[in-house]
Amino acid sequence: MKKPLLTLGRMVLTLLVVTLATVLVWQMVLYYMFAPWTRDGHIRADVIQIAPDVSGLIQEVSVRDNQVIKRGDVLFTIDQDRFRLALRQAQATLAERKETLAQAQREAKRNRGLGNLVAQEQLEESQSREARAQSAMAEAQVAVDAAQLNLDRSVLRSPVDGYLNDRAPRVNEFVSAGRPVLSVVDSNSYHVDGYFEETKLSGIKVGQAVDIRVMGDNTRLRGHVLSIAAGIEDRDRSSGANLLPNVNPAFSWVRLAQRIPVRIAFDQVPDDFRMIAGRTATVSIIEGSGQ
């Protein structure tokens, strides 16, 4: 009697173990296949390239590599001697044009006061000289403003709060207008780009809470879904010379799920957390939140 009961107990225990294992395996399959999480996440930030508006030799560098900077901090200064000379020349020309205008205005006023004693042709000529002098003075004022602008633009300042890249410019380097010299990482623009498989998108909604784990750091960060990308590149299709679709005729039997970028904003970051653009992160959507 005991032996059949023992055999039955073993069968029941085996059945329970198999059932439990099956349930666990099925839950793992559901989690890995459909749960909205990914290890393919990266911290991103806006990187602003700093390019001078004028050309010249760098006279002074006010920052060092990887320095923390604030908006408005001076980064470097281009040699200003040439711009000061151009400003003085423009100011001298403006002073001359002002004197010419004053003389033309006095002559025009005197001719108008004489009335019929002055020929109409002479009166019109004096008025024309006054108008030309007025235009010349306005042109000289524009030249002064442009020279002052070039002088002001010789001092480059940071447009944002952030971090300087790992290569600051050096004194006596020649920089050209419009060519980037250094870059600044905007410290107020950090976010996470998580690349989720398309099979998991049904569980992702804008506003949902997100758990963020950065590789190499035990700090648990929280965020929320900011946006979901509206399109990705189709690598199996391109445009031909006549702009008609050129579709790859070879079809792969193994179809991997496409990965869709999801942008995630940080809710709060501890002061001691080292935020570095490019770090890898594991991102998990907290289901049922933000709805």
Question: Is residue 15 a part of any domain in this protein?
Answer: no
Assign residue 118 the CATH number of its domain. Answer: 1.10.287
Q: What is the pLDDT of residues 141-191, one digit of tens each?
A: 999 999 999 999 999 999 999 999 878 889 999 999 999 999 999 999 999
Same domain, 58 and 168: yes
Residue 109 makes CB contacts below 8 A (sequence gap 6+) with none
- How far apart CA 60 and CA 274 sit, in angstroms, is 30
**Complete DSSP assignment for 108-124:** HHHHHHHGGGS-HHHHH
Residue 253 makes CB contacts below 8 A (sequence gap 6+) with none
pTM, two decimals, is: 0.76
Same domain, 87 and 171: no
Question: Is residue 98 a part of any domain in this protein?
Answer: yes
> Is residue 242 within 8 Å of residue 6, measured between CB atoms?
no
Q: What is the pLDDT of residues 74-125, one digit of tens each?
A: 999 999 999 999 999 999 999 998 888 888 777 767 666 666 555 566 656 6
The alpha helices in the chain, defined as continuous H runs, are 2-34, 81-114, 120-153
pLDDT value of position 126 = 67
Q: What is the pLDDT of residues 191-230, one digit of tens each?
A: 999 999 988 888 899 999 999 999 988 889 999 999 999 9
Same domain, 241 and 268: yes
Question: Is residue 10 a part of any domain in this protein?
Answer: no
DSSP 59: E
Q: What is the pLDDT of residues 181-194, one digit of tens each?
A: 999 999 999 999 99
Which residue did the predictor score with more confidence, 4 or 279?
279
Same domain, 131 and 221: no
Domain that holds residue 66: 52-76+157-179
pLDDT value of position 72 = 95
Same domain, 91 and 120: yes
Same domain, 58 and 174: yes
> Is residue 85 within 8 Å of residue 79, measured between CB atoms?
no
Sort strands 191-197 and 37-44 into parallel, antiparallel or unpaired.
Answer: antiparallel
Residue after which a domain boundary falls, among 108, 138, 153: 153
Burial 101-130 (b: 16+ CB within 10 A, else e): beebeebbeebeeeeeeeeeeeeeebeebb
Same domain, 136 and 196: no
Average pLDDT in the chain: 85
Same domain, 170 and 231: no
Q: What is the pLDDT of residues 224-272, one digit of tens each?
A: 999 999 988 877 777 767 777 777 777 777 777 889 999 999 998 898 8
Assign residue 195 the CATH number of its domain. Answer: 2.40.30.170
Question: Is residue 41 a part of any domain in this protein?
Answer: yes
The total number of structural domains that make up the chain: 3
- How far apart CA 207 and CA 223 sit, in angstroms, is 9
Question: Is residue 194 a part of any domain in this protein?
Answer: yes
Same domain, 253 and 144: no
Same domain, 97 and 194: no
Query: Which phi-psi region, left, alpha or beta, contains residue 282 (left: φ > 0; alpha: ψ -120 to 50)?
Result: beta
**Residue 184 neighbours by CB distance under 10 Å:** 24
Sign of the alpha-carbon dihedral angle for 32, 33, 34, 40: positive
Question: Is residue 26 a part of any domain in this protein?
Answer: no
Same domain, 173 and 57: yes
Length of the chain: 291
- How far apart CA 154 and CA 91 sit, in angstroms, is 19
Question: Is residue 24 a part of any domain in this protein?
Answer: no
Same domain, 56 and 108: no
Question: Is residue 28 a part of any domain in this protein?
Answer: no
